Amino acid sequence: MIFLSLFLSFFQIGLFSFGGGYAALPLIEQELIHAQGWITNQQFIDILTLSEMTPGPIAINAATFSGNQIAGVFGGIIATVGVTLPSVIIVQIMAYFYFKYQNLTVVQGIIQGLRPAVVALIASAGVTIFMTAMFGRSSWPVDIAEINWISVVFFAVGLFLMRKYKASPIQVILITGLAGGIVYSLL
Amino acid sequence: MEKKELYLTLFRSTFFLSMFTFGGGYVIVPLMEKKFVNELGWINEDEMLNLIALGQSAPGPIAVNTSILIGYRMAGVPGAMITVLGTILPPLGIMTVLAYVYLAVRDNAIVNNVLLGMQAGVAAIIVNVVYNMAMRIIKQKKIIPILVMIAALIAGIIFQVNILWLLLVSALIGLAMTLYNLKMKKDEGDIK
């Protein structure tokens, strides 16, 4: 039953993504690409690209979009509800205790402990995204001859714009998209 | 204030913030703060900062979490339901439409070229995010978080360890450190 597994996958993604939208990426990769085989690396990057470009929380955007890709409109709704439900339950329980005791030292201590691991996990999803963008795939080993040099240049320009001129993600996406539309079409 | 009016304002505020704010939770949350603290004056600054910290401590998208906290603070469980709906309905609508546009145009040569260019941009964004987050951990100059980060990196990338195990182990380390720090503080207090 596709809708049930879709719901469970996204419930799990919502339940274990600590630290906002980017923290959901490694879980989306593990669940949707590797465990279920519902989407490809390319689709994964497209989902992230479109989620960054549209308004709203990135994780919700990604859930609705991938749910739609996997199982149509109803799939999109199921995925969105699935990814939101853990928040609805857990945040209200935390809020109840917070307003009662005004103290969540232990909970926040655990989260502090999670943060370095979350950074590492996002980095690991980042490797997949980087390899796919540069080589068209993320499986090892890669042959340096397969590298897409135009991508390398776009990547370097994007990084430079963000670090030097504090360009926003959406600006970087629009610039590299425009450049891609021109450069690749002329080749 | 009448209840109906409160519900309506909660829904409208979260709906419009989610509908028109680009850049995800880290942009939406400060705008929520502006709306509920400065414009409506429903929540004071200090309490809002605590709610934001709380929202970041819970799993899930931080914009969703913060909206739930604001709704709960203002009108209990019904309030939370209203604000969470307000936050997720706009992306649900927009992304559903976009998913169909994407299906229709993905194979178009120019669209493909644009998306190919964007891939490199997204790769740069992720590398930048990871760099900023990692530097924040490194700058604290505490040995355990740095070791956890390196160990998780090796376990995740090279050994492909399941994410849930990595999270569980690092949460336990966080718990142990918190209890240890609390005990040290308590002992210090006892000596005094």
Task: Kindly report, residue by residue over B140-171, the tens digit of the pLDDT.
Answer: 989 999 999 999 999 988 888 899 999 999 99
- Domain assignment present for B53: yes
- Domain assignment present for B61: yes
- Domain assignment present for B138: no
Q: B89 to each of A94, A99, B55, B64, B86, how far by Cα in Å?
A: 24, 28, 19, 11, 6
Query: pLDDT value at position A113?
Result: 84
Does B91 contact A154 at a Cβ distance shorter than 8 Å? no
User: If pLDDT is split at 50, 70 and 90, which confidence band does B32 have?
Assistant: very high
Contact A68, A76 (CB under 8 A): yes
* A35 secondary structure, DSSP code: I
Contact A147, A135 (CB under 8 A): yes
Q: Give the number of domains in chain B.
A: 1
**CB-nearest partner of A92 from B77, B116, B150:** B77
Task: Look at A187 and A6; give whichever has higher pLDDT.
Answer: A6
Q: How many CB atoms lie within 10 A of CB B138?
A: 14
- Domain assignment present for B42: yes
B50, B122, B153: best to mutate for the A interface, most A CBs within 10 A: B122
pLDDT at A139 over 80: no
Give the tens place of pLDDT for each residue, B114-132. 999 999 999 999 999 999 9
| Percent of chain B topping pLDDT 90 | 78
Name the minimum distance, in Å, from the CA of B126 to any CA of chain A: 6
Give the tens place of pLDDT for each residue, B66-79. 999 999 999 999 99
Q: Which of A86, A52, A82, A19 is nearest to A177 (CA)?
A: A52
Helix runs in chain A, H state only: 2-16, 21-28, 41-53, 58-101, 105-135, 149-165, 169-186
User: If pLDDT is split at 50, 70 and 90, which confidence band does B1 have?
Assistant: low
Collapsing DSSP states into helix, strand and coil, what is residue B36?
A: helix
Task: Look at A138 and B81; give whichever has higher pLDDT.
Answer: B81
d(CA A29, CA A110): 24
- Domain assignment present for B44: yes
Query: pLDDT value at position A183?
Result: 96
Three-state secondary structure readout of A82-103: HHHHHHHHHHHHHHHHHHHHCC
Q: What's the domain range around B14? A: 1-105
Query: pLDDT value at position B192?
Result: 53
Beta bridge partners of A18: B59
pLDDT at B112 over 80: yes
Q: B186 to each of A102, A106, B142, B177, B180, how far by Cα in Å?
A: 19, 15, 22, 14, 10
Query: pLDDT value at position A99?
Result: 85
ipTM: 0.91
Contact B177, A115 (CB under 8 A): no
| Nearest C-alpha in A relative to B106 | A46
Give the tens place of pLDDT for each residue, A77-136. 999 999 999 999 999 999 998 888 877 778 878 888 889 999 999 999 999 999 999 998
Least confident of A88-102, A133-147, A150-164: A133-147
- Domain assignment present for B88: yes
**CB-nearest partner of B121 from A16, A87, A176:** A176
Give chain B positions within 8 Å (CB) of A19.
Answer: 56, 62
B54, B57, B142: best to mutate for the A interface, most A CBs within 10 A: B57
